Amino acid sequence: MMPFIKHRKIDTNSFFCLGVDYQREPDKTIEYIKELDVQHILVRLKLWEMSTLNELEKFLSNVNDKKITLKIMQDRENVEDLNLFRNNLDIIFSTLKDQIDIYEIGTTINRAKWGFFSVDEYNNFYKVAYDLKKEKYPDLKLIGSGVIDFEYHFTAHTLFNFFKYKYDGVSALLYVDRRGAPENTQLGFSASDKIALLATMTWLSPKTKHELYLTEINWPISNTAPYAPTSEKECIDTDSYANFMLRYYLLALASQQVDALSWHQLIAPGYGLIDNRDGIKKYPAYNTYKTMINYLKEAQFLRLDIKRDHYVFQCKVKDKLLQIHWSLSPTTLKKEDYFEVYSRDGEKIGDDIINIDSSPVYVFINN
């Protein structure tokens, strides 16, 4: 069914999402959210840290002009004791219902270290949230199931079953970092193909609205052990990190199937935009993210052309045509008089011949 899935119109203002930690440098976090001009943020609340709920509420009051997704992270105690989970959830919903736009129920359900030992344990877990919503909070938006990586047999079990619940959208943690660049394949599937397959499963499922949220994505950064989430073998340098992340965003937006993609996360030395190990140090990706939002937050996607490893993402920004070029096999582009060309991080390029390589360049066409 993948060739037959219909494209949707994606709101680029809410598509660009950023994961933040309300306990990590909270004042700086609020400052950088405003500086980046991101309109959608994702915050995580751990069920084993319910005592910090007031702290989260205070943080959210400082970003109440943003769209907010709350990822509710489980522990084994809440998975085993569903009455405890329901009580905790009731407290969360009643406290934050006016501040949260989307609740992601559970995360990383296919890794036992996060508390679930089977998919049916998650199905029972999610049903508690769904039943509570139906009973007391009918206007809340709930998404699930938060499967990590390209392991869609777990996702299928949450989308095609006989449990009496529904999702308001499907969430996934679609990491492709262990394959290198996002254009690289796993079992023949590039990042774009994985998104297309997941979107098709969402489209076919009777249990969910046709919305897809990728709530975590990053690459591990080299020489940041023990903060990097993988071994050094999978880590990449900070320049490649910025390139891969931007290209992943462009490919996801070009799919016209992903409602939001969350960069995980703002401050995290092993995989984020900012290293806080010794003061605050912004990685190159910080300006990459800021430039991406600045140029694309009001973009209307037109098409993605791929020819001999040369990618051309085309969109309309206000009254201008914007092309974003990158190539896996370096090539060149002749600059025309009506071109305005900017680097990945927003620096103007005045050369007559534009080098097109793994670092995307923005070409505004003034006609």
pLDDT string in tens for the chain (367-residue length): 888 888 899 999 999 999 999 999 999 999 999 999 999 999 999 999 999 999 999 999 999 999 999 999 999 999 999 999 999 999 999 999 999 999 999 999 999 999 999 999 999 999 999 999 999 999 999 999 999 999 999 999 999 999 999 999 999 999 999 999 999 999 999 999 999 999 999 999 999 999 999 999 999 999 999 999 999 999 999 999 999 999 999 999 999 999 999 999 999 999 999 999 999 999 999 999 999 999 999 999 999 999 999 999 999 998 899 999 999 999 999 999 999 999 999 999 999 999 999 999 999 998 7
**Domain 302-365 architecture:** Sandwich (2.60)
pTM: 0.97
Q: Which of 351, 281, 361, 365 is nearest to 324 (CA)?
A: 361
Q: Where are the domains of the chain?
A: 2-297, 302-365
The predicted pLDDT at position 99 comes to 97
Q: Cα(245)–Cα(155) distance, rounded to whole angstroms? A: 24
The predicted pLDDT at position 313 comes to 98
CB atoms within 10 A of CB 119: 19
Query: 51, 45 in Cβ contact below 8 A?
Result: no
Query: 128, 87 in Cβ contact below 8 A?
Result: no
Tell me the two tokens of residue 15.
């598509």
The predicted pLDDT at position 4 comes to 85
For residue 302, give the amino acid letter.
Answer: L
Tell me the two tokens of residue 24.
């990590």
Q: Which of 153, 279, 284, 306 is nearest to 219 (CA)?
A: 284
Could you identify the residue written with the tokens 């489209």?
203
The predicted pLDDT at position 201 comes to 97
2-297 and 302-365 agree in CATH topology: no
Give me the CATH topology for the region 2-297.
TIM Barrel (3.20.20)
The predicted pLDDT at position 18 comes to 98
SS (H, E, C) the chain: CHHHCCCCCCCHHHHEEEEECCCCCHHHHHHHHHHHCCCEEEEEEEHHHHHHHHHHHHHHHCCCCCEEEEEEECCHHHHHCHHHHHHHHHHHHHHHCCCCCEEEECCCCCCHHHCCCCHHHHHHHHHHHHHHHHHHCCCCCEEEEEEECCCHHHHHHHHCCCCCCCECCEEEECCCHHHCCCCCCECCECHHHHHHHHHHHHHHCCCECCCEEEEEECCCECCCCCCCCCCHHHCECHHHHHHHHHHHHHHHHHHCCCCEEEECCCECCCCCCEECECECEECHHHHHHHHHHHHHCCEEEEEEEEECCEEEEEEEECCEEEEEEEECCCEEEECCCCEEEECCCCCEECCCEEEECCCCEEEEECC
The predicted pLDDT at position 39 comes to 97
For residue 315, give the amino acid letter.
Answer: C
Query: 297, 38 in Cβ contact below 8 A?
Result: no
Could you identify the residue written with the tokens 């305005």?
340
Q: Which of 213, 239, 238 is nearest to 228 (CA)?
A: 238
All residues at 6 or more sequence positions from 199 whose CB lies less than 8 Å from its CB, including other chains: 5, 212, 255, 257, 258
What's the residue count for the chain? Answer: 367
The predicted pLDDT at position 5 comes to 87
For residue 335, give the amino acid letter.
Answer: K
The predicted pLDDT at position 2 comes to 86
